[in-house]
Structure 1
Amino acid sequence: MDAIDLLEQLISFDTTSPPGNERPAAMFLADVLKNYGFHCEMQELGNNRANLIAVIGEGAGPELMLNGHLDVVPAHGQWRLNPFVMTREKGRLYGRGTSDMKGGIAAMCEAAIRIAQKGGPQKGRLKLLFVADEECSNLGTMKYLEVYGTSDYAIIGEPTGLEIAIAHRGVSRNYVDLHAPARHAALPAAGRDSIEKAGLTIWALKRLNRELSAMRHEVLPSPRISITMMHGYEKDNVVPETTRMLLDFRILPGMSQQQAEKLIKNGLRKAGITDCSIIPHFYMPGGELPSDNSFVGLCLEERRRLLQSESRPKAFDASCEQCFFVGHGIQTLICGPGNLSQAHTFNEYLEEDQIRKAVDLYERIIDKIIN
């Protein structure tokens, strides 16, 4: 089976998260890889969820991990094709997960199979780690890192258009509850009500974003706060006591949840917004690998040789699990087929040419590290 055959089978598994149900997809890949000499282990997570860990090579030397997530987001929107049946049209492969990121997984598997067919690693080990629950709460990766040892190098196959991405912003999400006495809508306010405070908060956050734009990173955009939810309704004729906002704060590597919360508090205080509560909701750190890292240089060189084009280290525009691997001492970058603009949208597709080139690029990098 080549990468496109593998992708067609992977798309047929509905691994929408939640609930995920990634175990059958992981079992399918294990059955394929066992035929080529991979030692395969299912890391059970319960509720029909599991990680697949497949390893080939036992000699002394470095360990290279190829990583991806088996779950996908819901197939909402105006799909004109069945999202769980891969469709080939004019050089494109349509289906939920083609870009994010079953295409990357399929390419990694074919590249690994090619290595196995050439006799396997001459030194060190090649590991394939395909995890559950990346799209929600990172259950699969956190469980893997809790139980297993570290690797030397890792590539996450998120869609980068085969650019070498070395960093991603993290995210800190907080609820902001704005308080003021409730009142009958027919009566004037004694002061600012919670709805007025919400309007002031919007402008306060716009000012804070301007201040945050002064924070620079080698490849990443500046930190930025977006409001993703606002709710304050009690009854048609009541001005509510509390208006709640949900803030999505994209943060640079090294920024803690406490630092993000402090920046929000200070921004609101400067705008004169008092009597509010900030409630942590979700946190995921940013991740990065230095641009002068030798692994980054090796991958850039192999990309240049394959694609006959120069490129510099890039940012990965969404969040991903690089931060967790880097936090465990694994030199990790992000490189995969597909375009991030296709992720989480309807009629998701991947260019056939991209997945084939991804196979070649992964094979080249594997050869350089463990052969």
Structure 2
Amino acid sequence: SQPRPLSIATVSAGNFNLQLDVKGYGTHSGNRGPSIRAGGEGNAAGVNAVEKAILVVQALQQLEQEWGITKSHPAFPAGIFSMVPGVFHGDAGVPSVGYLAESATIGYLVWYPPNEGPEAVKAEIERHVHHAAQLDSWLRQNPPRFRWESHWPVFDTPADHPLVKLLVADRADVLGEIPAGLPQTHSFNAVCDASFIAAKGIPVVAMGPGDLRCAHAVNEYVDLAEIASCARILARTIVGWCGAA
């Protein structure tokens, strides 16, 4: 089921910022014909890095489809673990269409499940791209370069942790009981600073106003009523957890 307002999230995905650099052989765009047509010079006439980078994107889209089956977690909706090609740039050193691109870079955000190790996920991606590169005469000799620029780890607090139980009860006091048969907690389908607190051995739970469907969008907004309700819930939990009178 979809997370409801002020859902209590006990587990998050992890992510990587991956930059993939693809090398080409930049020459005048008039060389495109002999570089790609039968009877031409092939790679010796020029190699368009943009098109070679598209081959890499297609390979990772294939792997992403496999992830829809192979990567899952009971707390998360199906298909959430994915690879987002959010940035694509290629040129010959100048922003002109008069050349075959000398280089191209694809920027990815990779979402992986909390029940898999980050190093294994990285190795799987690199292995898949390597195998795809073997099918291309240029990429076989000039493999894409991986730059794993950042890693955001997961957090995963057991749903039966006393902190979670207390927050669930306090939410019910303010907003009413969640109907029987529906989940009391949800996954956090993004990342937040709770991961770094959890890494210090401190139990964490994420809860707050807002909706991921409009997060970082031009119309991003928060319902003011949710802010007030969240404050009431957190006040109860802080007092209960800290043992204040």
| Fold equivalence (TM over 0.5) | yes
Between the two structures, name the one with larger relative contact order (CA 8 Å, sep ≥ 6): 2
* Structure 2 unpaired stretches of 5+: 36-41, 134-138
Whether 2:167 is the aligned partner of 1:299: answer yes
Deviation at residue 160 of structure 1 after TM alignment: 7.4
User: What letter is aligned with 1:338?
Assistant: G
CA distance in 2, matches of 1:347, 1:194: 36
Partner of 2:67: 212
Paired residues of 2:73 and 2:115 also in contact (CA < 8 A): no
Equivalent residue for 1:250, pick from 101, 111, 116: 111
Three-state SS of the structure 2 residue aligned to 1:288 is: coil
| Superposed structure 1 runs of 4+ greater than 4 Å apart | 254-257
Structure 1 pair 361/202, CA: closer, same or farther in 2 (3 Å)?
A: same
CA distance in 2, matches of 1:320, 1:160: 18
Whether 2:20 is the aligned partner of 1:176: answer yes
CA distance in 1, matches of 2:115, 2:75: 15
Larger strand percent = 1
Q: More deviation in 296-305 or 190-199?
A: 190-199
| Mapping of residues 135-284 of structure 1, within 5 Å | 161-187=5-31, 188-189=34-35, 190-191=42-43, 193-213=48-68, 214-221=70-77, 222-234=80-92, 235-253=96-114, 255=116, 258-272=119-133, 273-274=139-140, 275-284=143-152
Three-state SS of the structure 1 residue aligned to 2:30 is: coil
Partner of 1:142: none
Deviation at residue 257 of structure 1 after TM alignment: 5.0
| Mapping of residues 76-155 of structure 1, within 5 Å | none
Larger helix percent = 2
TM-score normalised over the length of structure 1: 0.53
Structure 1 pair 245/289, CA: closer, same or farther in 2 (3 Å)?
A: same
CA distance in 2, matches of 1:246, 1:309: 43
Paired residues of 2:155 and 2:194 also in contact (CA < 8 A): yes
Three-state SS of the structure 2 residue aligned to 1:270 is: helix
Deviation at residue 168 of structure 1 after TM alignment: 1.6
User: What letter is aligned with 1:218?
Assistant: P
Deviation at residue 204 of structure 1 after TM alignment: 0.6
- The one-character-per-residue Cα deviations of 1:99-130 (angstroms, maximum 9, x if unpaired) are xxxxxxxxxxxxxxxxxxxxxxxxxxxxxxxx
User: What letter is aligned with 1:175?
Assistant: Q
Paired residues of 1:167 and 1:288 also in contact (CA < 8 A): yes
Three-state SS of the structure 2 residue aligned to 1:236 is: coil
CA distance in 1, matches of 2:88, 2:220: 29
CA distance in 1, matches of 2:4, 2:195: 17
- The one-character-per-residue Cα deviations of 1:21-54 (angstroms, maximum 9, x if unpaired) are xxxxxxxxxxxxxxxxxxxxxxxxxxxxxxxxxx
Three-state SS of the structure 2 residue aligned to 1:253 is: coil
Deviation at residue 347 of structure 1 after TM alignment: 4.6
CA distance in 2, matches of 1:271, 1:170: 25
CA distance in 2, matches of 1:194, 1:352: 49
- The one-character-per-residue Cα deviations of 1:306-361 (angstroms, maximum 9, x if unpaired) are 22231521112221011111111111000112323343233543323222221221
User: What letter is aligned with 2:27?
Assistant: R
- The one-character-per-residue Cα deviations of 1:52-98 (angstroms, maximum 9, x if unpaired) are xxxxxxxxxxxxxxxxxxxxxxxxxxxxxxxxxxxxxxxxxxxxxxx
CA distance in 2, matches of 1:223, 1:340: 16
Three-state SS of the structure 2 residue aligned to 1:271 is: helix
| Mapping of residues 336-351 of structure 1, within 5 Å | 336-351=208-223
CA distance in 1, matches of 2:151, 2:186: 23
Structure 1 pair 332/160, CA: closer, same or farther in 2 (3 Å)?
A: farther
Partner of 2:200: 328
Three-state SS of the structure 1 residue aligned to 2:204 is: strand
Query: How many residues of Structure 1 are paired with residues of Structure 2 in the alignment?
Result: 213
CA distance in 2, matches of 1:258, 1:182: 34
User: What letter is aligned with 1:359?
Assistant: A
